[in-house]
Amino acid sequence: THELRNPLATATLAGAQLRGLAGEHPRMIRAVNLLDRAHDSIRVLIERVLNAERLEAGEVIPVTKELELGALLDPMLETLREMANTRSISLLADYDPTIRLNVDPMLTSSAIGNLIENAIKYSSPGDVRLDVEERPSEIEVHVRDNCDGLSVEELRVIFEPFRRGRHGGKGAGLGLAIARRAVEAQGGSIHVESKGRGCHFAL
């Protein structure tokens, strides 16, 4: 993955130069925009692979910080709702934004964000739900979708890198692997169940 960064940087620079040459030509502008999106996708994939490997190797040391739940979730949900809308999915969320918690913001945001993104990606049009349950000494986060359901074998390997369900879909199969490692790095755990239609993730 490190060796992919240099040619990607070169391709990105070339794309920027092409944008300067495109002027007001609509077809050229569309082509350059497509190129930029492809470069962004490759960049995200590289970072996900590296993050998964760092977490797997125990190289990521959590840096905890006290913050309100809303500061963690509000910006994330705003972006994910845009993604959900393109798939005719309603992203519903029920949580108290004033709940205070002591977590690593980056790892926690990555874990929850990957769960929701995965739910949106594999759900049929309908609802994806995020619910946060407050308990005396902890909070539990639930993400529920309305996918076609998973078999026992799929549930067994779903958190392994590069593994995806039988229904396919876009992506490298890293989101859930990163989510699990991000949670476990902070001493937590993540679970999934699927009874018929839909999946329920809890962390």
How far apart, in whole angstroms, are the C-alpha atoms of residue 167 and residue 147? 9
Whether this prediction's pTM lies above 0.85 is answered by no
How far apart, in whole angstroms, are the C-alpha atoms of residue 125 and residue 132? 23
- Pairing mode, strands 139-144 and 100-103: unpaired
Local structure of 91: helix, strand or coil: strand
Q: Please list the pLDDT of the chain residue by residue as tens digits (203 residues).
A: 667 778 888 888 998 898 888 888 888 999 999 898 888 878 877 777 777 777 777 777 888 999 999 999 999 999 899 889 999 999 999 999 999 999 999 899 989 999 999 999 988 888 999 999 998 888 999 999 998 888 888 888 888 876 665 555 555 567 898 899 899 989 999 999 998 888 999 99
Q: How far is CA 32 from the centre of its chain?
A: 26
CA-based R_g, the chain, Å:
19
94: tokens are 């029920």
